[in-house]
Amino acid sequence: MQSTPPQTSTAKTTSKTGNGALYGFLAYLIWGVFPLYFDALKPAGAWEVLSHRIIWTLAVCLIALATTGQLGFLVRLARNPRQLGATTIAGLLIAVNWTVYIQAVVSGHTVEAALGYFLNPLVTVALGVVVLGEKLRLLQWVAVAVGAIACVYLAIDYGRPPWISIVLALSFASYGLMKKRIGGSLSAIQSLTAESAVLTPIAAVVLLILAARGDTTFASHGGVHTVLLLCSGIVTAVPLLLFAAAASRVPLVTIGLLQFITPVLQLLCGVVLLGEHMPAARWIGFGIVWIALLLLTIDSLGAATRARRLARAAENCAI
């Protein structure tokens, strides 16, 4: 049996990692410019946009699964009440996240929404302690504490707690926690299909209510507006699949670093392109959050380096 030359194996690994980093970059890039897409959907309200997003995402996923012969997983999911329940909860959590985010953009609060995604890694770490009983390293504790200080500062600056940021961070972190509990039994597109299927009846009812009240814009604001709403399924599914492809190819630390692309772009979209006001005091609040994220990043990089050293040491001992 002929073994693969080390050089060839290394080249393949490098190529795989490089492709994964590109997929991750593209996923976070698309998520980062979402404010421009949702702003372009005006005058559609958040509930109409959300409903179309759910329905057309399900349509896109069903077509993709039918093409690859994977629709049978829906039958297996329906026969597993525990997994179906967890998927339903995950779907409801992401629906809350989507609703608040869309409402934030269309109401001119994109900057506050961006803050939510800056806070998300810190909230995720905190949930790991509270819900999963995980032990934090010293630097992680410091990062969470600095993040809490930032929230207090921003609450004082806003004159109220930054509710949009808090709800976005909590809902997305909780969604990630629920996905972790579901495990890898479903692929990314299967999971998105199941969550969309659970939410579609609710979305259909919402659209019917809006139509009865005369509050829909789908067919009354020109062909471009209609096409943009129809594309909401594609723009939802594509970055998720890119992210799934990246997550299977690159280390978690790389994903952790790439994730900051999204809130940075959202912040720039809000301030530079959508003209939202950002006073100096608020920049200071964001700066405190960035210090917390820097500490968290340093800790993650250090942990990854130690893990690699231990792995190499174990390999050397085995040899």
Structure confidence by residue, pLDDT tens digits, 223-250: 999 999 999 999 999 998 888 888 777 7
Quick one: average pLDDT of 253-272?
Answer: 86
Q: How far apart are the first and last CA of the chain?
A: 21
- For 12-21, 138-147, 209-218, which range has the lowest pLDDT when averaged over its residues? 12-21
Q: Please name the amino acid found at residue 219.
A: A
Instruction: Give me the mean pLDDT over the 172-199 stretch.
Output: 84
Residue 283 in 3-state DSSP?
helix
Cα–Cα distances in angstroms (integers) from residue 114 to residues 105, 148, 263, in the given order:
10, 17, 5
Sign of the Cα pseudo-torsion (65, 67, 71, 73, in order): negative
Cβ atoms of 110 and 274 closer than 8 Å? yes
Q: How far apart are CA 68 and CA 155, in angstroms?
A: 49
- Both tokens of 134, joined, read 């995980």
Residue 135 has a pLDDT of 83
Higher-scoring residue by pLDDT: 69, 248: 69
Confidence label for 7 from pLDDT (cuts 50, 70 and 90): low
Q: Which residue has the higher pLDDT, 262 or 185?
A: 262
**Which single residue is written with the structure tokens 């492809």?**
245
Concatenating the DSSP letter of every residue in 218-248 gives TTTS-HHHHHHHHTHHHHHHHHHHHHHHHHT
CA-to-CA separations, 285 to 17, 107, 143, 282, in angstroms, rounded? 35, 22, 14, 5
| pLDDT at 261 > cutoff 70 | yes
Residue 5 amino acid letter: P
Mean pLDDT across the stretch 104-121?
Answer: 92
Q: What is the rounded CA–CA span in Å between residue 83 and residue 181?
A: 9
Domain coordinates in residue numbering, the chain = 21-318
Q: Evaluate if pTM is beyond 0.75.
A: yes
For residue 315, the model assigns a pLDDT of: 66
pLDDT, tens only, 194-218: 999 999 999 999 999 999 999 899 9
CA distance linking residue 58 with residue 60, whole number of Å: 6
Mean pLDDT score across all residues of the chain: 86
Three-state secondary structure string covering 121-165: HHHHHHHHHHCCCCCCCHHHHHHHHHHHHHHHHHHHHHCCCCHHH
> Which percentage of the chain shows pLDDT scores above 90?
50
